[in-house]
């Protein structure tokens, strides 16, 4: 009897243990099933918020905003106006009216018209320019991040001027192109990425005022074969190709045959946008169709952004704004808008070649006729500086489709 009780007791313990093991197994199994069901539910039966997020990702628009302004043309009266008490130069106040656009835009372009050779090479204005190297840091500090260096004045201090300029820009995070110290630099296509879109930047100038570079790689000149090769390589490594074109006849409002030839070549090669500089006056904005049916935005000339030229027409410029919009694999240029600008400066008309100051770039929407009356060019040699004149000249050159909400008034 005692033996049977022991046997039964062992059997009860064993049964209890088996039941516990079975219960534990069932719990693990249930938890695994619950986890699997939860995972499936999270994918197929997620909350409205998660569904919206999935939909947004699948149909997401990637937008990269762009703004561009024209020539940073540093006459001697401009750099004298920027001279500080400690002997350094600070140009940042001249660009202050564009701080909001610079803050709120992804890609911010400017044309550095004059070489930044610095004080060691002797500062100078027209006709052979040399500007303070501080400009590079100033441009970065106000927000510019894309700069053209290929201009007809880039060899005004020869190879050393280029070396000093590149050293100044190498201390910034600004993407630049157009002049080079080495063949390797010449052969390298600058690229950068914004919001997942990769951009290439190419720059060319029509000439350098008859000055020949020390080495063929010092300056990027217009050349059909070179352009075709550059653009092809750029398209292999980027999604978008931006070209800075330093071209055209000075003080004219229409593109010449040279500009039209290269604009079409750029379009045929598959360039996305061309930003033109050099004429010191504004020129039209156009859509140009390439040989493969592609559409390229061409801004023939943005005019001057800062400079001391002595006509109202040379003081009128433009800021171009647009968006690169990516949907799926397609990238388009949308929301193109031309914003009229004006260079303001004051001084003494009797000694206008020496006495000019208070240089500042304005959007015309920020400008007033009261301020225009203080402009040293007003009534100088027949010049008129007024909102009415700026509006008239802008509408004469720029198609209404690109003027957006601008109405010529404040």
pLDDT at 253 over 50: yes
Mean pLDDT of 311-321: 98
pLDDT at 255 over 50: yes
Label residue 128 by pLDDT band (50, 70, 90): very high
Label residue 12 by pLDDT band (50, 70, 90): very low
- Determine which of 2-11, 247-256, 388-397 has the lowest per-residue pLDDT on average: 2-11
Give percent of the chain above pLDDT 90. 83
Query: For residue range 75-105, what is the model confidence (pLDDT) as tens digits?
Result: 999 999 999 999 999 999 999 999 999 999 9
Q: What is the pTM of this model?
A: 0.85
CB-based contacts of 362, cutoff 8 Å, min separation 6: 97, 341, 342, 343, 344, 371
Query: For residue range 147-184, what is the model confidence (pLDDT) as tens digits?
Result: 999 999 999 999 999 999 999 999 999 999 999 999 99
Label residue 296 by pLDDT band (50, 70, 90): very high
For residue 404, the model assigns a pLDDT of: 83
Label residue 59 by pLDDT band (50, 70, 90): low
Two structure tokens written together for 78 = 């401009």
pLDDT at 406 over 80: no
Strands 197-205 and 273-277: unpaired
Mean pLDDT of 178-193: 98
φ and ψ of 289, to 5 deg:
-90, 130
Q: What is the CA radius of gyration of the chain?
A: 31
- Which comes out higher in pLDDT, residue 42 or 267? 267
- Which comes out higher in pLDDT, residue 160 or 34? 160
For residue 56, the model assigns a pLDDT of: 34
For residue 407, the model assigns a pLDDT of: 72
The 3-class secondary structure across the chain, one letter per residue, is CHHHHHHHHHHHHHHHHHHHHHHHHHHHHHHHHHHHHHHHHHHHCCCHHHHHHHHHHHCCEEEEEEEEEEEECCCHHHHHHCECCCCCECCHHHHHHHHHHHHHCCEEEEECCCCCCCHHHCCECCCCCECCCHHHHHHHHHCCCEEECCCCCCCCCHHHHHHHHHHHHHCCCCEEECECCCHHHHHCCCEEEECCEEEEEEEEECCCCCCCCCCCCCECECCHHHHHHHHHHHHHHCCEEEEEEECCCCCCCCCCHHHHHHHHHHHHHCCCEEEEECCCCEEEEEEEECCCCCEEEEEEEEEEEECCCCCHHHHEEEEEEEEEEEECCEEEEEEEEEEEEEEEEEECHHHCCCCEEEEEEEEHHHCCHHHHCCCCCCCCCCCCCCHHHHHHHHHHHCCHHHCCCCCCCC
Average pLDDT, whole number, for the chain? 89
For residue 38, the model assigns a pLDDT of: 45
pLDDT at 54 over 50: no
What are residue 211's DSSP bridge partners? Answer: none
Q: What domains sit in the chain, N to C, each tagged with a CATH number?
A: 62-402 (3.60.21.10)
**Residue 34 CB neighbours (<10 A):** 10
Strands 330-347 and 146-148: unpaired
Label residue 410 by pLDDT band (50, 70, 90): low
Two structure tokens written together for 391 = 């509006």
b/e string for 275-313 if b means 16 or more Cβ within 10 A? bbbbbbbbbbbbebebeeeeebbbbbbbbbbbbbbeebb
CA pair distance 392, 385, nearest whole angstrom? 11
Half-sphere exposure of 405 (CA within 13 A, CB side): 4
Query: For residue range 339-366, what is the model confidence (pLDDT) as tens digits?
Result: 999 999 999 999 999 999 999 999 999 9
Strands, sheet with 282-289, edge to edge from the N-terminal-most edge strand: 191-194, 197-205, 240-246, 273-277, 295-302, 282-289
């Amino acid at each position: 009897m005692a033996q049977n009780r022991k046997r039964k007791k062992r059997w009860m313990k064993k049964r209890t243990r088996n039941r516990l093991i079975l219960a534990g197994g069932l719990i693990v199994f249930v938890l695994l099933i619950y986890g699997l069901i939860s995972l499936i539910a999270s994918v197929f039966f997620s909350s409205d918020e998660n569904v919206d997020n999935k939909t947004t990702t699948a149909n997401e628009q990637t937008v990269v905003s762009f703004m561009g302004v024209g020539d940073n043309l540093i006459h001697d009266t401009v750099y004298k106006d920027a001279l500080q008490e400690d002997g350094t130069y600070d140009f940042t106040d001249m660009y202050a009216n564009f701080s909001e656009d610079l803050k709120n835009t992804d890609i911010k372009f400017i044309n550095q018209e004059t070489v930044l050779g610095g004080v060691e090479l002797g500062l100078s204005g027209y006709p052979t320019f040399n500007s303070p190297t501080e400009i590079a840091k100033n441009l970065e500090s106000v927000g510019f991040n894309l700069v053209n260096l290929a201009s007809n004045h880039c060899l005004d201090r020869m190879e050393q001027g280029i070396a000093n300029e590149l050293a100044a820009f190498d201390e910034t995070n600004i993407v630049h192109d157009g002049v080079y110290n080495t063949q390797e630099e010449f052969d390298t296509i600058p690229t950068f990425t914004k919001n997942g879109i990769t951009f290439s930047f190419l720059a060319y100038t029509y000439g350098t005022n008859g000055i020949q570079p020390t080495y063929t790689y010092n300056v990027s000149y217009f050349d059909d074969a070179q352009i075709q090769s550059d653009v092809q390589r750029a398209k292999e490594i980027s999604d978008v190709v931006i070209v800075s074109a330093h071209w055209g006849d000075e003080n004219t409002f229409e593109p010449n045959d040279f500009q039209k030839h290269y604009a079409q070549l750029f379009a045929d090669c598959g360039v996305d946008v061309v930003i033109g500089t050099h004429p010191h006056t504004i020129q039209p904005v156009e859509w140009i169709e390439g040989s493969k049916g592609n559409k390229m935005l061409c801004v023939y000339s943005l005019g001057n952004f800062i400079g001391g030229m002595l006509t109202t027409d040379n003081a009128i410029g433009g800021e171009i704004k647009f968006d690169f919009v990516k949907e799926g694999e397609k990238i388009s240029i949308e929301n193109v808008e031309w914003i009229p600008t004006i260079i303001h400066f004051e001084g003494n008309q009797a000694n206008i070649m020496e006495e000019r100051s208070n240089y500042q770039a304005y959007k015309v929407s920020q400008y007033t006729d009261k301020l225009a009356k203080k402009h040293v060019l007003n009534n100088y040699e027949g010049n008129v500086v007024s909102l009415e004149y700026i509006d008239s000249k802008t509408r004469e050159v720029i198609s209404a489709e690109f003027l957006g909400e601008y109405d010529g008034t404040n």
